[in-house]
Chain A
Amino acid sequence: MATSTMEFKIYRYDPDKDDAPYMQDMSVQVDFAIDRKLLDVLTRLKANDDTLSYRRSCREGICGSDAMNINGKNGLACLTDIQELKQPVVLRPLPGLPVIRDLIVDMTQFFKQYHSVKPYLINDSPRPERERLQSPEERDELNGLYECILCACCSTSCPSFWWNPDKFVGPAGLLNAYRFIADTRDEATNERLDDLEDPYRLFRCHSIMNCVDVCPKNLNPTQAIGKIKEMMVRRAI
């Protein structure tokens, strides 16, 4: 057994008993043969101290629950290899959102922005009896967009979102906005562009590209935002 001790510094805050947040030193025995991902080690830490609080569910990078700030960079605990982490591993909640407890943030603002882009197909033509047709090439346009897991790693790494979380849609919301703009079955492209043509909603993006750097699904919100801007320019001329 390749066991070893791992050292952590973890952000702790329980509003029920703590006056203020603090960083807690924690250590845990890990077995590298079994523990591969940060989430495996968090499970061990929690077995020792059941007050440690974080969200988790699928443990395979598809549900988007366990996003956190890991050694200064946002990521999913379940997709982060422990052997690559510098120790002590510093864990903090996602930046820019209110902390509820420990590594759990209040995601209300994030989802509000997602909902603001009308993230659903708009097509008011009479429903055909069978599926609406879409060529494989048209469908390919949705690749790199529909795979978003709404983990918020991107938006909470974006300085523009930190400053204006109420006004700037943020990379996740904009990626999803473009997912519907790019869908040949959607009939609301103009409305969608009108809605985003705003100094804050879209144009707070300054292509810093933190979002691209942190996306655990290797998606590219900056590129999607660029395409929305291009479409605005094209329809203006």
Chain B
Amino acid sequence: MSNSSIPVRKFDAVIVGAGGSGLRAAIQLSEGGLKTAVLSKVFPTRSHTVAAQGGVSASLGNSEEDHWHWHMYDTVKGSDWLGDQDAIEYMCRKAPEVVVELEHFGMPFDRTDEGKIYQRPFGGHMSNFGEKPVRRACAAADRTGHAMLHALYQRNVRANTQFFVEWMALDLIRDESGQVLGVIALEMETGEVVAFHAKATIFATGGAGRIYYSSTNAFINTGDGLGMAARAGIALEDMEFWQFHPTGVAGAGVLITEGVRGEGGILRNSDNERFMERYAPNAKDLASRDVVSRAMVTEINEGRGCGPNKDFVLLDITHLDPATIMKRLPGIREISIQFAGIDPIQAPIPVVPTCHYQMGGIPTNFKGQVVSADGVPVKGFYAAGEVACASVHGANRLGTNSLLDLLVFGKSSGDSVIEDLASGAIVHKDLPAAYAERTLARLHRLNTQTGGSNVNETRLELQRTMQKHCGVFRFKDMLVEGVAKIVEIEKAVARTEIKDKSQVWNTARVEALELDNLIEVAKATLVSAEARKESRGAHVRDDAPDTPENPNGRDDANWHKHTLWEREGSSLSYKPVTMTPLTVETIALKTRSY
């Protein structure tokens, strides 16, 4: 096959992904009158934003005094000072505006007695620069993501957005100058491969939590945007930082929101002790996620886990009023009954830290423009949401800041596209010669491969390797060994074989193509983690312990910087953290405690 056999469709903009950030960007572009295509592997309301539970943060102050500056402080502290302070200020200042806008779109938030948006406490949300917990998480029961995703989709229905549902983007199109000219995508129903030629391309493809064996993430979270970007020569930022959510249902991995602890839930060990009091005397069960996850694993490692194998701890809400549980946490009750076989009104829920969120991603600025190492925008390329690294989450994300990230940067990336197109900075350029060759070669190999490796087994090996070698606690030798293993697995990924050769809804092919993306993310993660010789946020290693010189093992002198991993040669470089906010003073480096 040659390029000429591929149909080309022309748009002003193409958005890849129709979760929260893709849909929010699409609203800007559709209402802004741009000819826009939104591609999604799944029907938009099936995107993983739908599974978010606890809330979206904004300093609305509906129940008690709050301020965006306090929110900013908490986010910087939560990030263990790896977040860029310009982007963090931008996000926290914008939060009330985008959340109110979402309410106007129809989002069914819970309400206070005065009729305002209901807000609950959440991990790491504090008033007055870290003093005491504050109600900042705006919630629709424990189904905030579902309510949000549907509201955003509905607004797009109103705006007549053009969706390409069940289309999988396979590769980014870049020309020799590095400008991005769209994507090549596969229609799952027909097997047809089409070039989406666009002036602007927004990646909103979400995370890659499926690189881990135990994950709260959906099957579809395979890091497609990261894989495409890496193959097209875009560096990936801070990929060593993965959030392990403290409360995944033991065995099943399904998420139990932090909102459970926000409503008064308590973590207990086998002695029935509220152990978080020892690890975070002030915030207790509402400390940051990395802190709580490490405390839980420490309890389990020291023999105070629960159950026959002493391999989980308990999340207890039996002391809460059943009416509160039914009203504020109905989805959690359903999940506990379905996946743990217990009713949390009567018995505590068995939970373990579970891979949940990727803090790193495609480097962007706060306008949602993808940037190179020196901060210069990559022409025609934008990213928002979990796939992007602005960086607002740094080394550890605060709960509810992910939904906020979607809204703020979905919107800002859309606005940037409108601006860049209006200014004439970006026009349609001709597609380069042979732009589809690599993609067609990948498809051809899959159609003809014999005696190759099994997709399912190779993926499992990748996931088990990540789980064992790059988990909540990391060990020098294990990381080195993990890198070597991933390099071996990469060879198997290059020769995967599928039996299904059908053109129609070939899910085996989709899974093989997804594995091509998972391996890029896994490799970026392990290589970046092995290289970072300090402990910071979610990245904690045995050879960087807590010392008087380096409290918590954090080594600001050598490692207060962002990692950039490039696929070519699997090479690393670093760039400074932006410490200068937009309008306020720098939040200076400080030891982190809760």
Q: Which residues of A contact B (CB under 8 A)?
A: 14-17, 34, 36, 46-47, 49-51, 53-65, 79, 100-102, 104, 107, 111, 115, 118-121, 123, 127, 129-136, 138-139, 142, 146-147, 149-150, 180, 183, 185-186
Contact = CB atoms under 8 A, between A and B. Distances in A.
B51 A62 contact: yes
Which residue, of A53, A63, A111, has the highest number of chain B Cβ atoms within 10 A? A63
Given A59-B219, A139-B111, A51 B500 contact: yes
Contacts of B112: 136
Contact of B42 (A53, A57, A111, A142): A57
A183 B339 CA distance: 33
A60 B339 contact: yes
Contacts of A123: 104
Which residue, of B112, B115, B255, has the highest number of chain A Cβ atoms within 10 A? B115
A47 to B, nearest CB: 5
Interface string B517-557: 00000000000000000000000000000000000000000
A185 B218 contact: no
Interface stretch (B195-203, B427-435, B503-511): B503-511
A139 B106 contact: no
B103 A132 contact: yes
19 contacts: A15-B504, A16-B503, A16-B504, A36-B339, A50-B456, A50-B511, A57-B46, A57-B48, A58-B50, A100-B189, A100-B504, A104-B505, A115-B157, A121-B104, A121-B154, A133-B111, A136-B111, A149-B45, A149-B146
Contact of B46 (A58, A131, A132): A58
Interface residues of B, number: 60
Interface string B247-260: 00001101100000
A15 B335 CA distance: 37
B128 to A, nearest CB: 23
A34 B213 CA distance: 13
Contact of B106 (A15, A102, A138, A185): A185
A57 B218 contact: yes
Given A63-B50, A142-B108, A150-B45, A120 B113 contact: no
B502 A59 contact: no
B499 A133 contact: no
A130 B45 contact: no
Given A50-B508, A131-B100, A131-B104, 15 more contacts: A14-B504, A16-B504, A61-B334, A62-B50, A63-B51, A79-B338, A101-B504, A119-B154, A120-B106, A120-B155, A121-B104, A121-B154, A130-B100, A134-B115, A142-B108
Contacts of A180: 106
B473 interface: no
A65 B46 contact: yes
B46 A121 contact: no
Contacts of A183: 106, 108
Given A56-B219, A101-B502, A133 B46 contact: no
A47 B42 CA distance: 21
Nearest to B456: A47
B48 A150 contact: no
A58 B109 CA distance: 23
A65 B147 CA distance: 17
Interface string B93-128: 000000010011110111111111100000000000
A143 B583 CA distance: 42
B143 interface: yes
A63 B109 contact: no
Contacts of A59: 218-219, 254
Interface in B174-229: 189, 218-220
